[in-house]
Amino acid sequence: MGAAGSAKKGPRGAAADELMPPAGGGAARHGRSGGRGGAAPGSGAGRGHGGDTYVLGLFMIYMSTQVDALLGDGHGRGPDVAALTVTFFLFEFLAATQDIAVDGWALTMLSRENVGYASTCNSVGQTAGYFLGNVLFLALESASFCNKYLRFEPQPRGIVTLSDFLFFWGAVFLVTTTLVAFLKKENEELIPAKEETKGITDTYRLLFSIIKMPAVLTFCLLILTSKIGFSAADAVTGLKLVEEGVPKEHLALLAVPMVPLQIILPLVISKYTAGPQPLNTFYKAMPYRLLFGLEFAFLVWWAPKVKHEGGFPVYYYAVVVLSYALHQVTLYSMYVAVMAFNAKVSDPLIGGTYMTLLNTVSNLGGNWPSTVALWLVDPLTVKECAGAQGHTCATAAATELCTAAGGSCVTTLDGYYVESVVCVILGFAWWFFLGPKFKKLQDEGQSSWKCKRSN
């Protein structure tokens, strides 16, 4: 089950599957304390954040006593799917609530000139969290890994179990929340009384008023279409590499050396995104990321050419790792830039909700093209029936008839390559025609992003 997930997707989240498993996080918090302290209405910042974290920590400790039973005992009892579904829902609900709270907390605690660092801290933190909660945990939970590398005498179980993992991090949640409560005080004198609370209905009215604002509406329309050019590379490449025979576990292993890079990159990129025009970095990185779509297609095409009986040569994996590392530079440049921009324009009075709304739209801008790209691969693939004249492979029924006649369907044009070229063309069209409009959003005054209140 792992650790509770974050409500927001990371730089990899919106991209669905890439070459390797995801490592990264959503929007972040960092910088010198400043600006207005206090809770943002609708965000649950401040003390609300602590309450959510306590509940999440206690829930993880409770689940540590139940998780083995939910996953099945291996003696005829299978996993309790219904209970696991409810459990994951509660995990996501609590994590999402906490996520919004911390967003609002960051926006109200950081000075306006430093709020652009918000995306940096979270990118670093969630990359480290991914490594601890996935790579490190899976290694320590694996009996074979522990017996091979960490033990002198083999044991039937790993060093860490899932229940141990949940209990430990539940306790960490409780301890860190308590430390924050005692060590970090908010300046309550700066909290205007009218800003302390807002009902759910009022918050949703504010959300609708936010979406209807011209600047926000333009941002949403542009960000929803900005990642079409990356959809084939992000969603299909990993699947195609596996289809060509590259073992999934090898791809997962190649992601490990990327973790230090993914921690360092946001720190370096923040120097360029913390200023008044973070979207310039987004615009400059986009064409390079688009070109990697063609390079990834080449890697897929190249895979069967270099494959041998023992697998793939070391130099092929070296090229994959180098390609992935360079691709991460462009991906994180775009991701951190958008998160920094969202943090800068979000109205502190509804900070957590406002920023989460913008981040959600940003994530949706990556999710829907990836879904469409996955769906279109088969319709765009051209196959012919070899060994049986008069038959085709245009439909599932025709494929069955071809097989029944003693033939076999052979791919003559893989839809992935068609998608890769078309997506890159569409991506460059967006960059050329709509990219300048996206950059121009930085020139909008702060009043263009402020919520209109009817108090």
Mean pLDDT of 158-174: 92
Q: How far is CA 257 from CA 171, 203, 248, 253, 266, in A?
A: 29, 43, 16, 8, 16
| Single-letter code of the amino acid located at 206 | L
Query: Count of CB atoms within 10 A of residue 266's CB?
Result: 30
Could you tell me the pTM of the whole model? Answer: 0.72
> 104 versus 193: which is more confidently predicted?
104
Q: Residue 236 and residue 15: Cα distance in Å, rounded?
A: 10
Instruction: Render pLDDT for 418-443 as a digit per residue (tens, 0 to 9).
Output: 999 999 999 999 999 999 999 999 98
Question: pLDDT grade, residue 127 (50/70/90)?
Answer: confident
pLDDT at 260: 85
Alpha-carbon distance of 277 to 440, in angstroms, equals: 9
Q: What is the pLDDT of residues 332-344, one digit of tens each?
A: 999 989 988 988 8
Percentage of residues of the chain with pLDDT beyond 90: 34
Lowest mean pLDDT among 81-85, 174-178, 199-203: 199-203
Do residues 135 and 260 lie in contact, with contact meaning Cβ atoms separated by under 8 Å? no
Distance CA 345, CA 158 (A): 47
Q: Which residue has the higher pLDDT, 126 or 301?
A: 301
Average pLDDT over residues 77-86: 87
Distance CA 131, CA 145 (A): 16
What pLDDT score was predicted for residue 190?
Answer: 42
Angle between helices 279-306 and 415-433 (to 10 degrees): 160
Type of residue found at 313: P
Segments making up each domain of the chain, as ranges? 13-31+39-380+414-449
- Predicted local distance difference test score (pLDDT) of residue 45: 41
Residue 5 has pLDDT above 60, yes or no: no
Please name which of 103, 6, 121, 33 lies closest in space to residue 348, comparing C-alpha atoms.
103
Average pLDDT over the chain, rounded to an integer: 80
More confident residue, 157 or 200: 157
Judged against a pLDDT cut of 80, whether residue 110 lies above it is answered with: no
Question: For position 181, what pLDDT does the model report?
Answer: 79
pLDDT at residue 101 is higher than 80? no
Q: What is the pLDDT of residue 372?
A: 95
Residue with tokens 């990899």: 12
Average pLDDT on 252-268 reads 83
- Read off the pLDDT of residues 325-372 as tens digits, 9 standing for 90 and up: 999 999 999 998 998 898 888 877 776 678 888 888 998 999 999 999
The Cα–Cα gap between 344 and 282 comes to 15
- Using DSSP's 3-state secondary structure scheme, residue 386 falls into strand
378-416 pLDDT tens trace: 899 888 888 878 888 888 888 888 888 888 888 888 899
| Predicted pLDDT at 20 | 55
Asked if residue 255 lies in contact with residue 20, where contact means CB atoms within 8 angstroms, the answer is yes
Q: Which CATH number describes the domain made up of 13-31+39-380+414-449?
A: 1.20.1250
Does the structure show a pLDDT above 80 at 240? yes
Q: Please identify which residue in the block is written with the tokens 């329309």.
A: 221
What integer pLDDT is reported at residue 39 of this predicted model? 33
Mean pLDDT of 100-119: 67
What pLDDT score was predicted for residue 37? 32
